[in-house]
């Protein structure tokens, strides 16, 4: 089969198509956009982009509605097909919704939002675990032309408040309580606490995930009750291709999270195309991405990609080890899952529990296994491939980011010559032209080399800007290598031309697949009353991928116990950010290694923690080389 042979661009095989998609990018994307999306009005310009200026526009002149593309057009052809399978926390209690049911739910909610004053261009914050009402909330926003801002339901009240304020939301949608791993999580209470410091918020829609009532205030709206009063038909707003579809906050190298802006047509097209071709998704398959909808992975591969393709998507509410480490595979057997997409951190965890939890269940429906979010080490890759996939399912290690909107580098299992090397993201997707840059900012043309990973030309799925801070967008992504999009990652290109991601080049770390800036954690530590200053670095962790190691200098004038400070730091990190932001190690130090100009030399701290004492490098700019010995000694004492 020639996967895109029908797109009408007249190429005969897949590698031709790859070349065509890059060299004749406009023709390629115009053809797929016409074929794959339903337009209210056709676009007149394929793209108008200038990466050096940070200007990115696709399919201008076109009008469409994303919810119509994800729902109505499938309701016309196959109303009873299952759109969503909600795998609830309680095993064996899944709920299925057809396309017709999901459209009705979305329309009722769209009408309710409209009736309660939400307008085109507003931004609604959604603070919910994965569930059909969360998907309907996203699609209802899309239906009426509002943008959504989904905040991961594991974030604290402070982190939620910061995102609501930046997005200037007047409406928040949440649930009374969440349920995860058998535990109840007080999500509504968290919203109540958050909105204390969010003057823009006028109403909070509360859906009932559990039967336990919660205190309702004047701002609160009982969501299901109100939805029941609404009509099941809701006129879709005609949206311009470049109207905002959603904001999604992610971490950068400063303390302030950035609200990346994704728009309508380009994003949807890119999510749909990557979903179909990276995973070899075919009509009738059951696709499961176990990421939370609060991350870009959940947006693109639990919601938009599968639904745009008329697929069946599984929403996973639980954890990999609840009620036991067989959960994923019991679910695969029960729901007859064909594609399974998960994170290396979970695979590494499950590997430690042994093969018996996998062998217990029938996995013969599986066709493709995906990995995302962080590098997958060879041992985890092999286990995923050999034990979970019985050696017969290709493992696709997919590299991408919140900024890229969808998968950019991944193996292509459907290719006739599909070679997959364990631990390598392998090859660019259609329309993607990766380049490596050397330290002088020049493109590296040879193979078997490493460099800073950039993408040489725009693609429809990329983020357009940072909400409220377009300048930061240009500075972060467009200016480091003018004319190129800079990813912040380093990569290696093999002799064969395959890519392997080597990790972040900036102060962003990846804890259990959660991206977090070390500066964000330092900000929190420095707010503790006894802390004078701190430095946070990532270190290699056998399950989390990276762990958090904090160096803390206490104020001399304050008399405190280190154990008390440790407790305070953990409380603060959970309260200000999320539980995963708590340091694994806290090393109390008298002082930190600094340059004469006062910059903390993190490189030295990293080397000490990685036990690479021979490779400390040039220490001549250090203010006082003695500090290094103190740090080494302190590290030694801590372990």
Q: What distance in Å separates the CA atoms of residue 270 and residue 273, rounded to the nearest whole number? A: 5
| Token output for 284 | 């009738």
Q: What angle do CA 49, 50, 54 make, to 5 degrees?
A: 100
Examine residue 520 and tell whether it contacts ligand WT7 (CB under 6 A): no
Contact flag: residue 374 with ligand WT7 (CB under 6 A): yes
3-state secondary structure of 239: strand
* 239 versus 408: smaller Cβ distance to ligand WT7: 408
| Distances in whole angstroms, Cα of residue 76 to Cα of each of 267, 271, 319 | 23, 22, 35
Say what the alpha-carbon torsion angle 162, 165, 167, 173 is, to the nearest 10 degrees. Answer: 90
User: Among 101-109, 333-341, 485-493, 627-635, which window interacts with ligand WT7 (CB under 6 A)?
Assistant: 485-493
Collapsing DSSP states into helix, strand and coil, what is residue 209?
coil
Does 476 sit near ligand WT7 (CB under 6 A)? no
Exposed, middle or buried by CB within 10 Å (0-12, 13-18, 19+), for 361?
middle
Note whether 375 binds ligand WT7 by CB under 6 A: yes
Q: 82-87 and 312-316: which strand pairing?
A: parallel
Residue placing its CB nearer to ligand WT7 in the complex, 480 or 488: 488
Q: Provide the minimum distance between the beta carbon of 510 and ligand WT7 in the complex, in angstroms, as a whole number.
A: 6
Please identify, using beta-carbon distances, which residue of 235 and 475 lies nearer to ligand WT7: 475
Q: Which residues contact 81 (CB under 8 A, 6 or more apart)?
A: 74, 98, 99, 310, 312
Residue 507 as a binder of ligand WT7 (CB under 6 A): the answer is no
368 binds ligand WT7 (CB under 6 A): no
CB of 295 to ligand WT7, least distance (A): 6
Q: Does 297 bind ligand WT7 (CB under 6 A)?
A: yes
Binding segment (CB under 6 A) for ligand WT7, from list 59-67, 123-131, 398-406, 438-446: 398-406
Question: In the complex, what is the shortest distance from the CB of residue 248 to ligand WT7, in angstroms, rounded to a whole number?
Answer: 9
Q: What is the rounded CA–CA span in Å between residue 638 and residue 518?
A: 21
Residue 44, Cβ neighbours under 10 Å: how many? 9
Query: What's the min distance (Å) between Cβ of 276 and ligand WT7?
Result: 18
Question: Which three-class secondary structure state does DSSP give residue 264?
Answer: coil
Q: Between 223 and 262, how does the x/- string for binding to ligand WT7 read (CB under 6 A)?
A: ---------------------------x------------
Q: How far is the CB of 410 from ligand WT7 (least distance, A)?
A: 8
Q: Provide the minimum distance between the beta carbon of 166 and ligand WT7 in the complex, in angstroms, as a whole number.
A: 17
Q: Which of 190, 274, 476, 510 binds ligand WT7 (CB under 6 A)?
A: 510
Shortest CB 243 distance to ligand WT7, Å: 23
Cis peptide bond N-terminal to 323, omega within 30? yes
Identify which range of 282-290, 332-340, 394-402, 522-530 contacts ligand WT7 by CB under 6 A.
394-402
Cα–Cα nearest to 82, from 70, 99, 94: 99
* Minimum CB distance to ligand WT7 smaller for 400 or for 485: 400
Find the binder of ligand WT7 among 246, 279, 340, 399 (CB under 6 A).
Answer: 399
- The 404-433 contact track toward ligand WT7, x by CB under 6 A, reads ---------------------x--------
Among 110, 145, 488, 547, binds ligand WT7 (CB under 6 A): 488
402 vs 512, beta carbon nearer ligand WT7:
402
**481 contacts ligand WT7 (rule: CB under 6 A):** no
* CA 609, 502, 382, 325 torsion-angle sign: positive
Residue 398 in the binding site for ligand WT7 (CB under 6 A): yes
Q: Which is nearer to ligand WT7, 113 or 126 (CB)?
A: 126
Q: Considering CB under 6 A, how many residues would be counted as binding ligand WT7?
A: 22
515, 544, 576, 635: which one contacts ligand WT7 (CB under 6 A)? 515
Which span sits near ligand WT7 by CB under 6 A: 73-81, 228-236, 289-297, 315-323? 289-297
Give the CA angle between residues 521, 527, 533 to the nearest 5°.
Answer: 75
Whether the Cβ atoms of residue 107 and residue 126 lie closer than 8 Å to each other: no
577 binds ligand WT7 (CB under 6 A): no
Scanning 7-15, 293-301, 589-597, 615-623 for contacts with ligand WT7 by CB under 6 A, the matching segment is 293-301
**385 near ligand WT7, rule: CB under 6 A:** no
Backbone φ, ψ for residue 486 (5° rounding): -95, 125
Indicate the residue among 63 and 504 with the shorter CB distance to ligand WT7.
Answer: 504
Stretch that binds ligand WT7, among 304-312, 391-399, 565-573, 601-609 (CB under 6 A): 391-399
Helix (H) / strand (E) containing 285:
none
Identify whether the C-beta of residue 546 lies closer than 8 Å to the C-beta of residue 510: yes
HSE of 264, CA atoms in CB hemisphere, 13 A: 34
Rule CB under 6 A: say whether 373 interacts with ligand WT7: yes
Terminal C-alpha separation, the chain? 56
Question: Please, which residues have CB within 8 angstroms of residue 503's CB and are 6 or more apart in sequence?
Answer: 375, 489, 490, 510
Beta bridge partners of 179: 184
Task: Report, in Å, the least distance between residue 516 CB and ligand WT7.
Answer: 9
The distance of closest approach from Cβ of residue 212 to ligand WT7 in the complex, given in angstroms and rounded to an integer, is: 32
Q: How far is the CB of 472 from ligand WT7 (least distance, A)?
A: 16
Contact call for residues 584 and 604 (beta carbons, < 8 A): no
Please say which residue, 18 or 398, places its beta carbon nearer to ligand WT7: 398
The DSSP string of 9-45 is S---SHHHHHHHHHHTHHHHHHHHHHHHS--SB--SE
Binding segment toward ligand WT7, per CB under 6 A, in 72-80, 469-477, 486-494, 521-529:
486-494
Q: Judged by CB, which is closer to ligand WT7: 158, or 489?
A: 489
- Phi, psi dihedral angles at 346 (to 5 degrees): -70, -40
- 422 token code pair: 């364990």
| Choices 74-82, 92-100, 396-404, 607-615 (CB under 6 A): range interacting with ligand WT7 | 396-404
Buried b / exposed e across 583-597, counting CB within 10 Å, b at 16+? beebbbbeebbbeee
Beta carbons within 10 angstroms of residue 172's beta carbon: 27
Strand partners, 223: none
Q: Which two tokens stand for residue 575?
A: 């309260």
User: Contact between 400 and ligand WT7 (CB under 6 A)?
Assistant: yes
Q: Which residues bind ligand WT7 (CB under 6 A)?
A: 250, 295-297, 372-375, 397-402, 425, 487-489, 501, 504, 510, 515
């Amino acid at each position: 089969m020639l996967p895109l042979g029908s797109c009408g661009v007249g190429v005969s095989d897949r590698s031709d198509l790859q070349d065509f998609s890059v060299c004749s990018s406009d023709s390629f994307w115009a053809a797929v956009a016409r074929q794959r999306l339903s337009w209210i009005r056709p676009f007149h310009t394929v793209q108008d982009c200038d990466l050096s200026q940070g200007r990115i526009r696709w399919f201008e002149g076109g009008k469409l509605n994303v919810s119509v593309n994800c729902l109505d057009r499938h309701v016309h052809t196959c109303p009873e097909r299952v759109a969503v399978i909600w795998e609830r926390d309680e095993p064996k209690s899944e709920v299925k919704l057809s396309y017709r049911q999901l459209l009705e739910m979305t329309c009722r909610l769209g009408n309710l939002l409209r009736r309660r004053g939400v307008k085109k261009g507003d931004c609604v914050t959604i603070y919910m675990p994965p569930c059909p009402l969360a998907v309907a909330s996203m699609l209802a926003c899309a239906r009426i032309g509002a943008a959504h801002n989904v905040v991961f339901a594991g974030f604290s009240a402070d982190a939620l408040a910061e995102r609501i304020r930046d997005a200037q939301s007047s409406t928040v949608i949440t649930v009374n309580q969440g349920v995860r791993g058998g535990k109840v999580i007080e999500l509504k209470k968290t919203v109540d606490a958050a909105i204390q410091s969010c003057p823009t918020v006028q109403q909070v829609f509360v859906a009932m995930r559990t039967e336990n009532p919660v205190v309702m205030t004047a701002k609160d709206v009982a969501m299901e009750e109100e939805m029941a009063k609404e009509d099941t038909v809701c006129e879709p707003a005609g949206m311009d291709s470049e109207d905002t579809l959603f904001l999604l906050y992610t971490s950068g190298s400063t303390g302030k999270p950035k609200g990346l802006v994704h728009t309508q047509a380009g994003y949807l097209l890119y999510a749909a195309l990557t979903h179909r071709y990276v995973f070899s998704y075919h009509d009738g398959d059951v696709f499961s991405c176990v990421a939370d909808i609060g991350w870009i992975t959940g947006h693109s591969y639990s919601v938009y990609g599968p639904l745009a393709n008329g697929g069946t998507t599984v929403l996973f509410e639980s954890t990999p080890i609840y009620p036991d480490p067989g959960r994923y595979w019991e679910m695969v057997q029960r729901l007859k899952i064909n594609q399974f997409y998960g994170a290396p951190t979970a695979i590494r965890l499950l590997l430690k529990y042994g093969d018996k939890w996998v062998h217990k269940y029938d996995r013969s429906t599986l066709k493709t296994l995906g990995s995302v979010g962080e590098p997958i080490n060879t041992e985890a890759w092999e286990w995923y491939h050999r034990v979970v996939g019985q050696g017969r399912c290709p493992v696709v290690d997919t590299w991408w980011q919140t900024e890229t909107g969808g998968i950019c580098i991944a193996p292509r299992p459907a290719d006739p010559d599909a070679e997959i090397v364990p631990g390598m993201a392998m090859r660019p997707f259609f329309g993607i032209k990766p380049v490596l840059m050397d330290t002088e900012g020049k493109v590296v043309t040879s193979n078997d080399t490493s460099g800073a990973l950039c993408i040489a030309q725009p693609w429809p799925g990329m983020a357009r800007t940072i909400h409220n801070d377009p300048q930061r967008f240009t500075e972060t992504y467009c200016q480091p290598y003018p004319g190129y999009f800079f990813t912040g990652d380093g990569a290696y290109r093999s002799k064969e031309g395959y890519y392997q991601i080597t990790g972040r080049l900036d102060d962003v770390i990846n804890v259990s697949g959660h991206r977090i800036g070390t500066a964000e954690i330092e900000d929190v530590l420095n707010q503790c009353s006894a802390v004078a200053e701190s430095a946070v670095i990532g270190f290699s962790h056998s399950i989390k991928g990276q762990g958090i190691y904090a160096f803390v200098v206490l104020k001399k004038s304050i008399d405190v116990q280190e154990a008390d400070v440790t407790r305070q730091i953990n409380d603060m990190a959970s309260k200000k950010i999320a539980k995963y932001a708590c340091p694994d190690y806290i090393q109390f130090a008298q002082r930190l290694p600094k340059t004469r100009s006062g910059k903390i030399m993190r490189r030295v701290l990293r080397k000490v923690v990685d036990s690479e004492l021979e490779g400390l490098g040039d220490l001549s700019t250090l203010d006082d080389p003695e500090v290094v010995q103190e740090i080494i000694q302190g590290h030694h004492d801590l372990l």
